């Protein structure tokens, strides 16, 4: 199955269900293999964070929140459910505040807008997480079991053990048309006795009796049900949204009384089970190991070995400068001096190894974006050993900045700051 993204941009605005703050939202198409990327436009428009369980804020309750740089985006589960349920692999979610708009308390507004704009297939295959053996998470009276299956099925038992909300059960195969019809319209809910407590704890500041079902005697106050088991269906929708923090899942998920915390515990198990094994990077790298990390080859590989290698932090690179280096044929042939731009390139290659040596950046490319504060202090000549000490000074999910100094013996030959963009091949 091919990956999919949106055909165009979609815009929303409204209040956050929990914060009550006004917020605007844009959902834009994204390149293949991007995943779902979140961006806080009001903080750092250049920073995009992938919606993955490792980026989830751990101390949030009653909703799922994603850490984005110095900020957070709360209540992402309804939109994530729409992406998962409709089969959208790649999108950029641009938010102007710290919570997504709550809309009517369900995912139906997101779904209808996505269906209206349409989807487009991309030239990349969808990646699946297949349940191959039973996986359990259990907290006494709360549990989730994931079993092997050819498609995604969700079975959910809701049991508040309270007279205001009777037990409910539903099991569905999740297909786009079934998700849209059976789950997307189900609204968020709470019991009447919970409502005052949640407000006192700072939750539900944007909630009202129209966008939140407040149950008393098994019926919503001043509202009407869309389904007799709407509360159960909403829990299933939340689970589908949280599951998408791992990716597209094929399996039968059987949940009893689970919420976001338990959902995320299952997602962590799924993610750990499906992550490829990555061997530790050695502290010293020879040419063959260097070539496994960066794409440079003769005659443009200017690093012979690397020592003191700490992926994502620092490394020391070495190049043995000889008269056989090709650039000496035309660069001051009567007085051979290594070109200064190639010294900077050599330092940048060490920086590229540092950036791409991190597990999450394997099989990517580091493009040089800028060079600043470059200074040349002493010449580098045939017979010299160039030692390059490079350290990362700033790092974000898709960019990195390094400072490098190149020495011959104890003499400083060159220093510069370089900035990289880390991109997929």
CATH of the domain at 238: 3.30.230.20
174 Cα distance to chain centroid: 23
Position 276 scores a pLDDT of: 53
Q: Which of 246, 274, 302 is the last residue of a domain?
A: 274
Pairing mode of beta strands 399-408, 411-424: antiparallel
The pair of three-digit structure tokens given for residue 106, joined into one six-digit string: 């369900």
Mean pLDDT value of segment 196-221: 85
Please say if the pLDDT value at position 61 is more than 70: no
pLDDT of 398: 80
Q: Which residues are catalytic?
A: 260, 331
Does the structure show a pLDDT above 70 at 352? yes
Whether 235 maps to a domain, the answer reads yes
352 lies in the same domain as 214: no
Interval 342-350 mean pLDDT = 96
Query: How many structural domains are present in the chain?
Result: 2
229 and 308 share a domain?
no
Both 145 and 22 in one domain: the answer is: yes
Residues 225 and 312 reside in one and the same domain = no
**pLDDT tens, 232-273?**
999 999 999 999 999 999 999 999 999 999 999 999 999 887
| In a shared domain, residues 151 and 16 | yes
Residue 317 structure tokens: 């690179």
**Measured between alpha carbons, how far is residue 296 from residues 133, 181, 267, 366 in Å?**
42, 52, 37, 11
The predicted model gives 382-395 an average pLDDT of 92
Q: What is the CATH number of the domain that holds 331?
A: 3.10.129.10
pLDDT, mean of residues 211-215? 93
pLDDT score of 357 more than 90: no
Listed residues 274, 309, 341: the one ending a domain = 274
In a domain, 321, yes or no: yes
Per-chain mean pLDDT for the chain? 92
**pLDDT at 356 exceeding the cut of 60:** yes
The parent domain of residue 375 ranges over 287-424
Residue 93 is assigned to a structural domain of this protein = yes
- And the tokens for 394? 């700033």
Residue 147 and residue 149: Cα distance in Å, rounded?
6
More confident residue, 278 or 333: 333
Boundary (domain end) residue, out of 250, 274, 298: 274
Could you report the per-residue pLDDT of 71-102, keeping only the tens digit for each? 999 999 999 999 999 999 999 999 999 999 99
DSSP state of 150: S
Prediction pTM value: 0.66
Kindly report, residue by residue over 3-46, the tens digit of the pLDDT. Answer: 999 999 999 999 998 888 999 999 999 999 999 999 999 999 99
| 274: confidence class by pLDDT, cuts 50, 70, 90 | low
Token output for 289 = 């190991």
Position 280 confidence tier, pLDDT thresholds 50, 70, 90? low
Q: Are residues 110 and 240 in the same domain?
A: yes
């Amino acid at each position: 199955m091919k990956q999919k993204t949106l055909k165009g941009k979609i815009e929303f605005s409204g209040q956050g269900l929990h914060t009550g703050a006004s917020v605007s939202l844009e959902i834009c198409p994204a390149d293949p293999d991007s995943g779902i990327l979140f961006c806080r436009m009001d903080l750092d428009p250049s920073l995009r964070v992938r919606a993955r369980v490792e980026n989830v804020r751990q101390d949030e309750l009653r909703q799922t929140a994603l850490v984005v740089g110095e900020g957070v985006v709360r209540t992402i589960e309804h939109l994530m459910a729409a992406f998962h349920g409709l089969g959208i692999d790649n999108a950029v979610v641009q938010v102007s505040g710290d919570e997504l708009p709550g809309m009517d308390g369900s995912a139906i507004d997101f779904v209808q807008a996505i269906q209206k704009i349409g989807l487009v297939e991309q030239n990349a295959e969808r990646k699946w997480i297949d349940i191959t053996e039973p996986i359990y998470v259990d907290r006494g009276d709360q549990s989730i079991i994931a079993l092997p299956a050819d498609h995604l099925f969700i079975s959910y038992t809701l049991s508040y053990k309270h007279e205001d909300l009777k037990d409910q059960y539903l099991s569905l195969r999740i297909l786009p048309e079934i998700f849209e019809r059976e789950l997307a319209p189900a609204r968020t809910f709470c019991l009447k006795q919970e409502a005052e407590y949640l407000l006192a704890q700072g939750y539900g500041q944007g909630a009202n009796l129209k966008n939140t079902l407040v149950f008393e005697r098994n019926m919503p106050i001043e509202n009407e049900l869309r389904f007799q088991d709407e509360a159960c269906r909403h829990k299933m929708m939340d689970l589908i949204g949280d599951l998408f923090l791992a990716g597209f899942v094929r399996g039968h998920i059987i949940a009893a009384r689970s919420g976001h915390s338990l959902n995320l515990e299952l997602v962590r198990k799924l993610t750990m089970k499906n992550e490829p094994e990555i061997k530790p990077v050695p502290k010293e790298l020879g040419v063959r190991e260097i070539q496994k990390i960066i794409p440079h080859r003769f005659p443009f590989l200017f690093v012979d070995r690397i020592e003191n290698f700490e992926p994502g932090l620092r490394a020391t690179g070495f190049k043995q400068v000889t008269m056989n280096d090709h650039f000496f044929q035309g660069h001051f042939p009567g007085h051979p001096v290594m070109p200064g731009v190639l010294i900077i390139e050599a330092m940048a290659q060490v920086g590229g190894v540092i950036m791409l040596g991190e597990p999450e950046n394997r099989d990517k490319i580091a493009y040089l974006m800028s060079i600043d504060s470059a200074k040349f202090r002493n010449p580098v000549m045939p017979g010299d050993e160039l030692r390059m000490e490079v350290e990362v000074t700033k790092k974000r999910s898709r960019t990195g900045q390094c400072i490098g100094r190149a020495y011959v013996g104890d003499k400083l030959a060159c220093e510069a700051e370089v900035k990289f963009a880390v991109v997929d091949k």
